[in-house]
Each structure stands twice: as structure tokens, then as C-alpha cells.
Structure 1
Amino acid sequence: MNERSWLHSRWMLAIVACMAVLYTLIMGNLLFVSGRMPGVNYQYNLVPLETIKPLLFEKNRYHTEAWVKNLFGNIVLFIPLGIWIPWLFRMCRKFLLFTGIVVMLLLAVEITQLITRVGSFDVDDIILNTLGAWIGYIGFTLFIYSQRKTRK
């Protein structure tokens, strides 16, 4: 059985598509609904690394929960994006195209947060989320590569 026969079979693509829809619903809830109310004093950050640097270099200023949530949460939660986008959309297996699409999606999320005043617009979130998507993309690429190696 080759890569094409099971990785891109209808049933596998249907499973991945269902997982992508479920992931999208969960992320929509986390980013816009769960415990979120439109803020009066809305905060935003347009300066790259402004919120990341203090979390990395002044770790003792933050509770562990806040530190882990802000750094690792923003990375880990977007790893699945790096898996299902190239799996479902073959053209997105090219790294630059994949990155462009991910950044556009994340920018749309941040702009929606800015407009609705739910959450906060933070360019550092885009950086960390993209890093998470890259980790997923690399994992997916290594998986595909290993499948090709074992099939030969």
C-alpha cells in the first residue's frame, strides 16, 4: 500500500477534515466565546516581540501559569493547523505558501479580535501561533518523508 492509497484515501481525508472542523470549532470557542466579553479598555500590541521578550527574559515577574499559557499555549494550540492544512490541501505543502496562508488566517483572527474587542490584537500571538503551525508542518513533512522511505 503506497502513500497515496491510505494517506489520501477518501476515508482518511474525511477523518482529517472532520478533525479540522472540530479543531476550528474548539479554537473559535477558545478565541472568541469561552469566558470572553468585549472589553472597554481594549489592549493591543503592534510591536514584534514586545510581549514575548519579557516572558522569556523576565520570567520571574510572571506566575508560571501565565508564562506557560502565553508562550506554550500560543504555540501548542496551533500545531494541528500545521498538520491538517498540508494534509487536506496538497498545494499548501510548499513551505512559503503554507506560511503565507497561516499568517493570513492568524491575521484574520487577530483583526476579528480587534474589531469585536474580544481577546486582544497582538502581533506576538501571530508569531507564536505561526511557530506552532511550523512545528506541525515539520512533523507532517517528516511523517510523509518517513512513509516514503519505508515504502521504497
Structure 2
Amino acid sequence: MNERSWLHTRWMLTIVACMAWLYVLIMGNLLFVSERTPGVNYQYNLVPLETIKPLLFEKNRYSTEAWVKNLFGNIVLFIPLGIWIPWLFRRCRRFLPFTGIVILLLFAVEITQLITRVGSFDVDDIILNTVGAWIGYVGFALIIYPQRRTRK
């Protein structure tokens, strides 16, 4: 093809944008609506690795479901963020701007959960979610972005 690969044509970007909106709606439901009721007390963790360390080193204290959900769920659910952000926003194709945007978005989600009391502010969630976004970013950088540069 000419200067644009098929991955960056208008129709493909439209499909990716629609998938990203669907992802945002699903995540909004998971994070703020589904099986969530406002709690009475504020819950928060500001100490990095305070909830991750017990999950890693005291695994037998947790059910398999809780362990998988808290560790891998927080990573896997945010992999798409690492693909769609750099795909849709050219300025976020470099690692540091991408990471900054991801951390700001995740911080906003955690603050919203704290204010609405339908979750808890946990710095470890930001850490695990960022790891998930980084995995998606690496996938984007290795698979999708190089195709654009090689087809010019």
C-alpha cells in the first residue's frame, strides 16, 4: 500500500475506536455498576505493594478465585488499554507519554471509586493495571506498529 498500512486506514481506526468505546462501557460496568453497592466507609491503600505482597507470598490465605481475580484480573483487563491508546492517539506511541496517560486514567478511576464508594482506592490496582497496559503496549509496539513502518 501507499503511505498508510491497512491497519491505519480510516475504516480500521473507526473499528478500533468503536471497540475501544465498547471496552470503556464494559469496564465502566465492571468497575462501577456490576455487583457494586456504595459502602459506608472509605477504603483505601496508599502503600505500594501492600495488597500485592500477601497475594504473592501468602497465596494459601486466599481462595483461588480471589487470588486470580486480584492479581491476574487487574492485569489482563487492562491489556486492551495498552493497544488502543497508542493505536488511536499518535502522541501516546512513545513509552513515557503512554505511561503518563495510563497512570492518570487509572488514578481517575481509583479516585472515582473512592468518592462514589463503589470500590476502594488502591495504589496496587494502579500498579497492576499499568502492568497490564504495558503488556498491551508491547504487543502494539511489536506487532501492529512495525507493520505500519515496513509498508511505507
Same fold (TM > 0.5): yes
* Paired residue secondary structure (1:50): coil
Q: Which moved more, 1:3-12 or 1:73-82?
A: 3-12
Counterpart contact for 2:4–2:151, Cα < 8 Å: no
Distance 1:2 1:59 in 2: 53
Is 1:34 paired with 2:34?
A: yes
CA shift, 1:147, in A, is 2.0
Counterpart contact for 2:5–2:151, Cα < 8 Å: no
Counterpart contact for 2:5–2:148, Cα < 8 Å: no
Residues 149 and 14 of structure 1, relative CA distance in 2, 3 Å threshold:
closer
Is 1:60 paired with 2:60?
A: yes
CA shift, 1:144, in A, is 3.0
Residue 24 of structure 2 aligns with which residue? 24
TM-score by length of 1: 0.94
TM-score by length of 2: 0.94
Is 1:98 paired with 2:98?
A: yes
Residue 126 of structure 1 aligns with which residue? 126
CA shift, 1:5, in A, is 3.0
Deviation digits for residues 24-68 of structure 1, max 9, x if unmatched? 000000000001011013321000000000000000110000000
Deviation digits for residues 52-111 of structure 1, max 9, x if unmatched? 000000001100000000000000000000000000001100100000000000000000
Q: How do 1:74-89 and structure 2 match up within 5 A?
A: 74-89=74-89
Is 1:143 paired with 2:139?
A: no
Counterpart contact for 1:3–1:147, Cα < 8 Å: no
Counterpart contact for 2:74–2:128, Cα < 8 Å: yes
Distance 1:114 1:82 in 2: 24
Q: Percent identity?
A: 88
Unaligned runs of 5+ in 2: none
Q: Which moved more, 1:91-100 or 1:137-146?
A: 137-146
Residue 109 of structure 1 aligns with which residue? 109
Distance 1:74 1:61 in 2: 19
RMSD between aligned residues: 1.6
Counterpart contact for 1:43–1:120, Cα < 8 Å: yes
Residues 40 and 13 of structure 1, relative CA distance in 2, 3 Å threshold:
same
Residue 74 of structure 2 aligns with an amino acid whose one-letter code is N
Residue 47 of structure 2 aligns with which residue? 47
Counterpart contact for 2:48–2:123, Cα < 8 Å: yes
* Paired residue secondary structure (1:4): coil
Unaligned runs of 5+ in 1: none
CA shift, 1:8, in A, is 1.3
